[in-house]
């Protein structure tokens, strides 16, 4: 059997590990927020067709996520289990992202389908081993929170960079035009080429372990018998579906309904900047009340920010109060992007102690699967709901029924789902004290296994 050892990380190592989060966040923000609206307005797909294609591609991504987790758990060699797949995935995702953002003339549903599949294949091969690698690098409760705080900061920086692109003097408009998206594809390619080698060279491989090989059966057993994992998965699904619904139509709501198309990039920057600035505050909160309760608190405060947006009337007068609500929503949600992977790392340690099987890659593939399932269902469901209420991205005027459907999808449903997530998170049993006990037992098992292997 193999038992994982723990170790410390300095700030430079954590920063180097986090660096690829910048281009990854740029891509994820583009695909999650801009691409659906881009293909239904500029390219010309209908909302219903786009919704069905998004649902199909992201559900297909289930295979990619489980495959990425499985192969990275069993990969051997001098570079470790995770690093080789991060490198391979970076090439695929860069090509897929460029093809998705730079469609040829008269591109239609088939182009959107195949480029989306290429993007999500690369994203799985990058992010599942990458997050599992981070969880294994950080062995204790607080170090894991610190490492994923660096990871979240890099992600917020990447999102800010992407959202600021339309404001550059290179472009004739401050909207997310095809010209801006072409530049984004080039910028992401350059950043991937710079940050992936940096992380691979400067951050160590995951600690060598002494455990039996994981497989699908132990992973299924974990889902059945690991209560913290079930609570985590339920909360992540409810919150992720909330985020999927919200982000799928935010472009429609802010740019077209509210009339903020020319300043949409500023709304995104304010939201992400508030996320970034709030990270130190949430770090202190996590140290005081624990990661899972800080996560629940942040989601509760975020849920309170959405409903007031529905009462703002479209037009320039609403821009300042909307910006204030967006900033509050960003600052309160900041903790979720740190707590989500850090809490799952604690679950992985618990599962390692419970089953003596190292399934960290498999568990992070479940996280990726949940995230993409939620984006698929959330985006597809959002487009189908607004289409059922008569909303069309190509129309300039909408009746009250269509506006109600847009508000219900963008603001009401996401708030309700966050309440469901809070109820599950609050019951999570792995506190700092419990996690310290788990870590000590794992270190004791590692010491015994090493002693048993030592020559007499």
pLDDT in tens, 24-77: 999 988 887 788 778 877 787 777 787 778 777 777 777 787 777 777 777 776
Domain count within the chain: 1
User: How confident is the model at residue 195, as a pLDDT?
Assistant: 94
Distance CA 86, CA 62 (A): 18
User: How confident is the model at residue 35, as a pLDDT?
Assistant: 85
- 23, part of any domain: yes
Give the three-state DSSP class for 393.
coil
Distance CA 358, CA 371 (A): 22
Report the range out of 242-246, 320-324, 430-434 with the highest average pLDDT.
320-324
* 3-class SS letters over 68-134: HHHHHHHCCCCCCCCHHHHHHHHHHHHHHHHHHHCCCCCCCHHHHHHHHHHHHHHHHHHHHHHHHHH
- 380, part of any domain: yes
Q: What is the pLDDT of residues 357-401, one digit of tens each?
A: 777 777 877 777 787 777 778 877 888 888 888 877 655 566 888
User: How confident is the model at residue 176, as a pLDDT?
Assistant: 80
pLDDT above 70: percentage of residues in the chain: 91
- 368, part of any domain: yes
Determine contact, residues 277/331, Cβ cutoff 8 Å: yes
| Nearest in space to 278 (alpha carbons), one of 156, 141, 151 | 156
Distance CA 418, CA 374 (A): 13
Average per-residue pLDDT for the chain: 84
Q: Write the CATH number for 120.
A: 1.20.1250.20
User: How confident is the model at residue 5, as a pLDDT?
Assistant: 38
User: How confident is the model at residue 413, as a pLDDT?
Assistant: 94
**Least confident span in 36-40, 168-172, 446-450:** 446-450
Q: Which whole number is the average pLDDT over 125-135?
A: 85
- 241, part of any domain: yes
Say which residue, 81 or 308, is predicted with more confidence.
Answer: 308
The angle that helices 47-74 and 360-388 make with each other, rounded to 10 degrees, is 180
Report the range out of 121-125, 171-175, 420-424 with the highest average pLDDT.
420-424
Give the three-state DSSP class for 358.
coil
Q: Which domain holds residue 268?
A: 11-450
Distance CA 331, CA 199 (A): 28
User: How confident is the model at residue 412, as a pLDDT?
Assistant: 94
User: How confident is the model at residue 374, as a pLDDT?
Assistant: 79
User: How confident is the model at residue 6, as a pLDDT?
Assistant: 39
Instruction: Decide if pLDDT at 142 tops 80.
Output: no
- 298, part of any domain: yes
- 2, part of any domain: no
Provide φ and ψ at 209, rounded to 5°.
-120, 170
- 5, part of any domain: no
Residues 308/313/318/323 CA torsion (nearest 10 deg): 40
- 100, part of any domain: yes
């Amino acid at each position: 059997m193999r038992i994982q050892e723990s170790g410390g990380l300095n700030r430079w190592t954590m920063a180097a590990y986090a660096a690829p989060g910048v281009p990854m966040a740029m891509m994820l923000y583009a695909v999650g927020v801009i691409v659906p609206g881009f293909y239904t307005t500029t390219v010309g797909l209908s909302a219903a067709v786009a919704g069905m294609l998004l649902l199909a591609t992201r559900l297909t991504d289930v295979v990619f996520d489980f495959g990425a987790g499985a192969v990275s758990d069993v990969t051997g060699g001098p570079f470790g289990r995770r690093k080789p797949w991060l490198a391979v995935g970076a090439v695929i995702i860069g090509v897929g992202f460029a093809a998705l953002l730079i469609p040829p003339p008269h591109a239609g549903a088939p182009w959107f389908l195949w480029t989306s599949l290429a993007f999500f294949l690369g994203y799985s091969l990058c992010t599942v081993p990458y997050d599992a690698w981070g969880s294994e690098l950080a062995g204790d409760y607080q170090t894991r929170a610190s490492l994923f705080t660096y990871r979240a900061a890099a992600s917020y920086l990447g999102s800010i960079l992407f959202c600021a692109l339309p404001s550059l003097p290179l472009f004739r408009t401050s909207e997310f035009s095809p010209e801006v998206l072409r530049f984004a594809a080039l910028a992401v390619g350059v950043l991937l080429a710079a940050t992936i080698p940096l992380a691979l060279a400067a951050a160590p491989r995951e600690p060598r372990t002494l455990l039996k090989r994981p497989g699908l059966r132990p992973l299924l057993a974990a889902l059945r018998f690991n209560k913290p994992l079930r609570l985590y998965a339920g909360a992540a699904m409810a919150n992720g579906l909330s985020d999927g619904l919200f982000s799928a139509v935010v472009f429609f709501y802010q740019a077209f309904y509210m009339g903020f198309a020319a300043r949409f990039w500023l709304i995104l920057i304010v939201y992400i900047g508030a996320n970034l600035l709030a990270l130190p505050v949430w770090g202190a909160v996590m140290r005081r009340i624990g990661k899972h309760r800080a996560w629940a608190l942040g989601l509760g405060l975020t849920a309170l920010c959405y409903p007031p947006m529905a009462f703002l009337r479209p037009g320039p007068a609403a821009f300042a109060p909307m910006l204030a609500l967006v900033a509050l929503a960003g600052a309160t949600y900041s903790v979720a992007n740190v707590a989500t992977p850090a809490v799952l790392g604690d679950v992985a340690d618990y599962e390692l102690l419970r089953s003596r099987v190292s399934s960290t890659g498999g568990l992070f593939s479940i996280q990726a699967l949940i995230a993409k399932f939620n984006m698929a269902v959330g985006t597809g469901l959002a487009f189908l709901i607004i289409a059922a209420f008569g909303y069309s991205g190509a129309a300039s005027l909408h009746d009250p029924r269509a506006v109600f459907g847009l508000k219900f999808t963008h603001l009401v449903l996401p708030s309700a789902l966050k309440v469901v997530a809070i109820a599950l998170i609050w019951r999570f049993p792995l506190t700092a004290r419990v996690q310290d006990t788990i870590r000590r037992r794992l270190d004791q098992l590692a010491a015994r296994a090493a002693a048993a292997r030592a020559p007499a």
